């Protein structure tokens, strides 16, 4: 079962430079924890509760390694949530009803 974690930073309230620095730190920490990055979504093959606990601990653990003025990582987050990939629909791909398969007859 794949589980997705979404992290969006609050670029409206914080400078782009600080947000970029924090994003780079989040990305590195999440990848080191076993997540893989799919565009801007972190994916891991874990159960939902375990994936959420791991993501939360990664973000909380970052605070010890940041400068004093960036210690409170959560104040820079706009969105931080997870969802099962089983409930994801890729709208860039046609639905299964729209895909037609034809076979050639050998007669």
For residue 96, the model assigns a pLDDT of 72
- Give the fold, CATH level 3, of 3-86: Alpha-Beta Plaits (3.30.70)
d(CA 89, CA 85): 9
Give domain limits for the chain: 3-86
pLDDT single digits (tens) 52-101: 999 999 998 887 776 656 668 888 999 999 999 988 887 888 877 776 67
pLDDT at 12: 96
Average pLDDT rounded to a whole number, residues 32-49: 96
Give this prediction's pTM. Answer: 0.79
């Amino acid at each position: 079962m794949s589980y997705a974690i979404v992290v969006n930073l609050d670029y409206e309230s914080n400078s782009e430079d600080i947000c970029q620095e924090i994003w780079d730190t989040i990305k590195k920490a999440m990848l080191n924890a076993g997540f893989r990055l799919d565009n801007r979504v972190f994916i891991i093959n874990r159960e939902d509760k375990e994936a959420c606990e791991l993501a939360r601990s990664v973000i909380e653990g970052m605070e010890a390694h940041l400068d004093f003025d960036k210690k409170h990582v959560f104040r820079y987050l706009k969105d931080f949530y997870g969802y099962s990939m089983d409930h994801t629909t890729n709208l860039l791909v046609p639905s299964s009803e729209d895909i037609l398969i034809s076979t050639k007859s050998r007669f």
